[in-house]
Every structure is written in C-alpha cells, then in structure tokens.
Amino acid sequence: MKSSPILVLFLIAIYASGCSNSEDYTTVNPDKIALGKQIFFDTSLSRPAGQSCATCHAPENGFSDPSHQVISEGAVASSFGNRNAPSLAYNVLSPIRSYNTVDETFVGGLFLDGRSPNLQEQFIHPMLNPVEMNNTSRAEIATKIKQAPYYKTLVVLYGNSPFEDDLLHHVADALFSYQSSEMVNPFTSKYDYYLQGRATLSLAEKKGLVLFENKAKCALCHVTEPDPIQRKVLFTDFTYDNIGIPRNPNNPFYAQPATINPYGSNYVDLGIGAIVSQATHNGKFKVPTLRNIAISAPYFHNGSIATLEKAVRFYNRRDLHTGEFGAPEVGQNVNREELGNLKLTEEDEANLVAFLKTLTDGYRKP
C-alpha cells in the first residue's frame, strides 16, 4: 500500500531538484510551440503516409484515440500494437523515472510501462514502431523532416546541423514545446473553475468528490494535493500499480499472425516489470491522470473496460464477482488493499462518475 503524503513529499523533492520533464514548462518559446504542433499533426511522417501523432492522440479527446478503439490501428492497415493509446495531456508534468525506496515503487517516466525516461526521448518510439508509424530508421525520419514545409522554420529556430541526431533532437524539442503548452495542458475543467470559485459543483458532483478523497480511496493514487510547481491538481502520483485488469479478448493484438505475436491469446503484458526485469513489478502500469477521463474511453492498458461507469464499478466490485470482470492478466502483485471491495452503493458509483466528468477540459458555463 502506498502512503500518499510520503509520495507527495517525494515528488516535491524531485521537482525541486529539477529532475522533471516540466522544468521549462512555464517558459516555452511560442515559435517552437507552433513548430511542434505542425510536427504533431504531420501525416507525412509515417510509412505509408497518412498517420500523425494526432491520429491516435486527438485534442478533442484529451489527446487520446478519437475513434475510441481498444487498440489504435497503425500506419499499415490492420496492424495493431498491444496497448490502448493513453492520453498525452499533462504528460509533461511526469518526473523523470526513479525509484522510491520508501514505498517500493517506481515514479515517473513516459509510456504506460515507463520505458522512456523523458518526453524528449519518447517521440522516437512510435516513429520507429512497425505497428505505429512504421519508419525503418532514424535516417528515414530525418529525410521526411527535411522534405516537410516547416523544415525552414526548424532551421531558423535551431540552426542547420549536418548531423542526423541533431536534427531529431531539434524535432524532439519542438514536440516537447508543443506538449508543454497550454494547448495540451489547459487546466480548464469545471473542477479547476470550482477551485477558483468560478463554478459550482452539483450535489452529485460534491458527493462524488467526498467519496473520491475518502471511502473510494481514489485520491491515494490520483492525488488531489496541488503539485509544487504548477500549483494545480494533477490527479496522479506518477507511480505504478497492478490493479488486476483482466485480459481483453477483443484486443486485436491477440489475433495477429504468429510472426508478430508468437504468444497469440496467451500474451501477458508485464508492464514496467518487463522494463526493469523485476518480477515484483510485473503487471504494474503507471497511474494515469484522470483529467479528461470521461472522453478518453476505453480504459486501462488493454482497453478492457469500455465505459467510465464500468471502470468505477471495477474498482468497487472487482473481488466480489470474478465472473463479471475475469481474472487478472497478471495475477501477482495485484493491489488488494485499495480497491476491489470498496462497499460503495450504486448511488455512490453514480456520484463518482458525476465528479469524474468535471475533470474534462474546455468547460463552459451553461
């Protein structure tokens, strides 16, 4: 069981030391933001052309899959990865991955398994992934960047280096700038306005907030204490947990040919355990922010839960009716202290959902 106050202090120490993806969050160059946005939406960078970062991470869905697919389709037709596309919003606020010896958990990093140490390094992974943007090499990506209409702008902002690695570093920095901007991290939900005294929560939303921070135990991982730099609530402590998510029989990855998936339906996703090669972390995935959770279905690493209502029900009743949800994909290291039998009523579940819907950005008063 994780002790939230200790984790908060630990995160404060991380931020204070400057070991964060967000150290330049408030001083981003607007020209670099504009360039990064162009790159983010550029569909010419995949092979074949037609897929951009925004294809699977659309702004209107909290930077998650706009088609709400269980697993997003890659640039090559009928090619799929093995994980649900996570939201990219607020990713910049994740610390660089490290290990908290007090609570025995990893903290920070990018991707659901934390395999990327920071946001600048993260961008190359989907570019080279054969079931995502499908480029064959860094050189191929560099060539496409040089042919893009924004290349001249990139040279003006960063200089004209003959080295491929320099060019890709500049691209990564521009993408980092865009993902660090208010376009991606707006903090414009009803909940934000409620904290500012500019909006009023309904009775159901208020009850949901009380449950969130108390009986439902959500805030133990999806913390509601403001972070020390932005002074905003991030709804994550950036740690890793195995909450007992079952396999998803509808995951298209399981149907791929043996050359792509030799394990077939027996595939098991070990999460960060596979990255750090430590069995005590098998099945653990990074705690996501709950911001924009109402518009980013389906949920969890394999998209096995289709609706927000069922996700809340899973947290509440996972251990009561195993036939309703199925056995955990990874049976070891399952968190059985903070979820699974919360003894919430159906009204409690509905109130939690009502509160979670206040976390969607772009709120406008009726």
Q: Residue 225 falls within a domain, yes or no?
A: yes
- Taking 60 as the threshold, does the pLDDT of residue 102 lie above it? yes
Q: Cα Rg for the chain, rounded, in angstroms?
A: 20
Tell me, what's the pLDDT at 304?
94
Q: Is residue 89 part of a domain?
A: yes
Give mean pLDDT, residues 229-234. 88
Mean pLDDT of 192-203: 97
Domain CATH number, residue 9:
1.10.760.10
d(CA 21, CA 24): 8
Beta strands at 285-286 and 240-241: parallel, antiparallel or unpaired: antiparallel
pLDDT tens digit sequence for 295-312: 999 999 999 999 999 999
Alpha-carbon gap, residue 160 to 151, rounded angstroms: 10
Query: Does residue 355 lie in a domain region?
Result: no
Tell me what pLDDT residue 16 has. Answer: 36
Over residues 252-275, mean pLDDT = 77
Q: Looking at the 3D structure of the chain, how many domains does it have? A: 1
Residue 272 reports pLDDT greater than 60: yes
> 118 lies in which domain range?
4-185+217-343
Check pLDDT > 90 for residue 334: yes
Domain contains 195: no
Burial class (CB in 10 A: 0-12, 13-18, 19+), 81: buried
| Residue 50 domain flag | yes
The DSSP secondary structure of 212-272, one letter per residue, reads HHTTT-GGGTS--SPPTTT-S--S---BEEB--PBP-TT-GGGGS-TTT-TTGGG----BH
Percentage of the chain lying above the pLDDT 90 cut:
79
CB-CB neighbours of 3 under 10 Å: 12
CA distance 177 to 36: 6
User: Residue 93, Cα to own-chain centre: how many angstroms?
Assistant: 11
Report d(CA 122, CA 227) in Å as an integer.
23
Residue 13 has a pLDDT of 40
| Residue 35 placed within a domain | yes
DSSP 51-75: --HHHHSBGGGTSB-TT--SS-B-S
Residue 262: alpha-carbon gap to chain centroid: 27
Q: Which residue has the higher pLDDT, 251 or 111?
A: 111
- Range with the poorest average pLDDT among 151-165, 242-256, 343-357: 242-256
Any domain includes 52: yes
pLDDT of 80:
87
Whose CA is closest to 9, among 287, 1, 209, 17? 17
**What local confidence, expressed as pLDDT, does residue 26 receive?**
47
- For 88, list phi and psi in degrees, rounded to 5: -95, -10
Q: Are 81 and 92 in contact (CB under 8 A)?
A: no
Categorise residue 146: left if φ over 0, alpha if ψ from -120 to 50, beta otherwise.
alpha
Average pLDDT over every residue of 201-213 = 98
